[in-house]
Amino acid sequence: MERPLIDGFGRRHRDLRISVTDRCNFRCGYCMPAEGLEWLPRSELLTFEEIERVARLLVERHGVDSIRLTGGEPTVRANLPELVRRLSTLGVDLALTTNGATLRMLAGPLAEAGLRRINVSLDSLRADRFAELTLRDDLPRVLDGIDAALEAGLDPVKVNVVVMRDVNDDELVDFARFGRDRGVVVRFIEFMPLDADQAWSDGAVVGLEEIVARIGEAFPLEPVARTSAPASRFRYVDGGGEIGVVASVTRSFCDSCDRIRLTADGQFRNCLFAVDEHDLRGLLRSGASDDDLSDLMERAVGAKWAGHGIGTVEFIRPARSMSQIGG
């Protein structure tokens, strides 16, 4: 019998984010420090068998119907299509978030293994700025990777842009035009306090209203009805597609959030901004039963806070950065 994961505020959780590795093949624009991070030993990462067991339990017993693979950078995990193949048998909406640098090589095999859709993280369309943010001159490879994802039939292909004031906010219209021309959905994400350098401030946040207004001046927009998805959606009045804005800071959507997270080292998190983690890896490797695993996750979700509290005196910054938690 299905036992939905429901928190203390009556929210049902059906979207599972799985970080498959803490490693990256280049620096993200904000989530990893320039000097890099100390990577976990391979033995501390969940195996494909362990990931599949947790995912299957959440799907079959708790009604999870959406799984997204994240990192670090998930495509650096060896034999990633094999994990996709395992999870695709669960019959869920299976997606992946990547920096896109290796998609020319992997998009086809991932699609053949059962991946349905993909998000590519890209914070600048300008070669010099991209190199400054990532410390790699790989913009052409990422753009080619987006084309490869489209050619492989992944649908939709989305581009995630973390908007940072005085860093890349002058590219809002450029990204909108890119999405319209390429036939991809661009999602603008408000800068959140999960940067590894801990340089976040309110002043660095470009909010939803400003993003929509600035793009709307060039390409008029109209809102689309809100769902439980993290992005507020807006479509172009002329029918040229749509954009999304993930307004985690200025318009918190905690009341409709249905996501739970599993880190690469097997820690279960009930929120991206959770300050507590729950050790599934220890249970998995000590012979725990499915009931034991379910009980831990049910308790964890039941203890979920009403909201993250960004911008309030009560806000507590998570100990891990985005690259260590997964998007």
Question: Phi, psi at residue 192, to the nearest 5°?
Answer: -110, 155
β-partners of residue 190 are 163
Report the distance separating Cα 87 and Cα 50, nearest Å.
12
Q: Assess whether the previous peptide bond of 4 is cis (omega < 30° from 0).
A: no
The CATH H-level superfamily of 15-325 is Aldolase class I (3.20.20.70)
Question: What pTM was computed for the model?
Answer: 0.90
pLDDT of residue 245: 96
Measured between alpha carbons, how far apart are the two ends of the chain, in Å? 30
* Secondary structure element (H or E) that encloses residue 322, with its range: helix 322-325
pLDDT of residue 313: 47
pLDDT of residue 265: 95
3-state class of 162 per DSSP? strand
Q: What is the pLDDT of residues 107-124, one digit of tens each?
A: 999 999 999 999 999 999
pLDDT of residue 101: 96
pLDDT < 50 stretches in the chain: 195, 313
Q: What is the pLDDT of residues 226-246, one digit of tens each?
A: 877 788 999 999 999 999 999
pLDDT of residue 295: 97
pLDDT of residue 214: 98
pLDDT of residue 32: 56
Parse the chain into domains and list their residue ranges: 15-325
pLDDT of residue 317: 60
Structure tokens of 182? 């390429």
Helix axis angle, 48-62 to 290-302, nearest 10°: 70
